Structure 1
């Protein structure tokens, strides 16, 4: 039997759970909607960069860990960016405390990646589209060409783009050259 003392905590717990669910649903919905055109639209810049440094820290209220990532920009694929750009990513490790955010990318010093950079309403630069906004670069061992994952934006996006055009909707390639990515971004 519930008394008047247990109702508010149960109500507050249910309300908090509902709020968390709606926030995660909103984030998931945003993630699934992000095709390359959407990513480009929300991005202030798309850059090819090498990670120079990472530094994790507690936010001002001490409730979450964030990581400051410094990128050395080697090529601007779209938009404007300085030769060195700093972004903030949710998650990281401070001392014994590890905070991992499943739908956000992580950065490692000296890795090369293509990063879609968005300006958050707070003015901070962040990765657009969560994990989809960071494409790790690898070098094809046979050709020496630098590539990124080609299917990151999904075949369903090609189906949407080709709908009504009478075109076939082939799966995107497993890897895409940086030059092909540049061309697609400039379409």
Structure 2
């Protein structure tokens, strides 16, 4: 190896170390925007989470089947199939920053965009998922927004970096906020 090629290799390594890690950038969405732009909003239980190769075998996709307890918007049927990028097949994994994580048996409220005839994707990626957690007395439940720390959120008006406005609510408060948002005139979709 020549001195010149060693210097090039060292320079390339230094550049890679000095670059910030990649992140997903998207507009911040609140409950009103999520509710109004989603095709379907459901409260349900995750029945199946399964990762698989895409048809061209270049990407890993994860199928999440959710049994619908209540349709808050749309007419989704008794189950919905949510497909999102990323997952693990055997020893190979792919990460899609900004995606939500799901576990079998988990209770959720999800905001969904139609993706083909029988499948959906999350509206606003991880912003479109709330996990339902029941208190020890099982009479009260909290709706906890998915963590969006690996996402750069932009204010929809100023396009400047901002923090998420989502916060933990009671399940009843979340459902009431969704119903209120659906009664308001629809806001224009951000471009």
TM class, shorter-length: 0.5 to 0.7
1:100 paired with 2:113, answer no
Structure 2 equivalent of residue 78 of structure 1: 73
Structure 2 equivalent of residue 69 of structure 1: 64
Structure 2 equivalent of residue 175 of structure 1: 168
Question: C-alpha deviations, 1:45-76, integer Å up to 9, x for none?
Answer: 11111111112111122111001111101111
Distance 1:134 1:150 in 2: 6
Structure 2 equivalent of residue 186 of structure 1: 179
1:29 paired with 2:26, answer yes
Q: Is there any run of 5+ residues in structure 2 with no aligned partner, and where?
A: 1-21, 149-156, 158-164, 181-191
Bigger strand share: 2
Q: Report if aligned partners of 1:151, 1:174 keep a CA contact under 8 Å in 2.
A: no
What is the CA distance between 1:150 and its match in structure 2? 6.8
Q: Report if aligned partners of 2:42, 2:109 keep a CA contact under 8 Å in 1.
A: yes
Q: Kindly indicate whether structure 1 or structure 2 has the higher relative contact order, using CA contacts under 8 Å at least 6 residues apart.
A: 2
Question: C-alpha deviations, 1:103-141, integer Å up to 9, x for none?
Answer: 000211111111111113x55411111111111110123
User: How many correspondences in the alignment?
Assistant: 143
Matched residue SS, 1:101: coil
Q: Report if aligned partners of 1:40, 1:46 keep a CA contact under 8 Å in 2.
A: yes
CA RMSD of aligned residues (A): 2.7
Q: Report if aligned partners of 2:40, 2:113 keep a CA contact under 8 Å in 1.
A: yes
Q: Is there any run of 5+ residues in structure 1 with no aligned partner, and where?
A: 1-20, 154-159, 161-171
Q: How does 1:130-169 map to 2 (within 5 A)?
A: 130-141=125-136, 144-149=139-144
TM-score if structure 1 supplies the norm length? 0.67
Structure 2 equivalent of residue 6 of structure 1: none
Distance 2:71 2:166 in 1: 23
**Pair 1:101–1:46, CA change in 2 (3 A):** same
Bigger helix share: 1
Distance 2:122 2:26 in 1: 16
**Pair 1:60–1:48, CA change in 2 (3 A):** same
Matched residue SS, 2:61: strand
